Amino acid sequence: MSQTPNDPAGTTHQFQNFASQAQPQKSGPNMGLIVGVLAVVAIVAVLAVGIMMLS
């Protein structure tokens, strides 16, 4: 007893249905990355001010 595999690329119509059901990727800015970069900039600024005070 053979069964046909459920392949979404089997026909163009099936593939179009499969592609339309896929969730689109978010293309907005990554907030974690922005917060991380701002934290690094703040740390470097604090270290620079600290070094200038010691001199």
In a domain, 24, yes or no: no
Please give the residue that has the higher pLDDT: either 45 or 29: 45
Please give the residue that has the higher pLDDT: either 14 or 10: 14
Q: What angle do CA 43, 36, 41 make, to 5 degrees?
A: 30
* Structural domain count of the chain: 1
d(CA 49, CA 55): 10
Two tokens, residue 7: 């392949």
Specify the pLDDT at position 42: 98
What does the mean pLDDT of the chain come to?
81
In a domain, 39, yes or no: yes
With tokens 């392949």, the residue in question is: 7
Q: Which of 27, 26, 25, 43 is nearest to 35 (CA)?
A: 43
Q: What is the pTM of this model?
A: 0.49
In a domain, 53, yes or no: yes
In a domain, 55, yes or no: yes
Q: In this predicted model, what pLDDT tens digit does every residue of 20-30 receive, in sequence order?
A: 887 666 667 78
In a domain, 25, yes or no: no
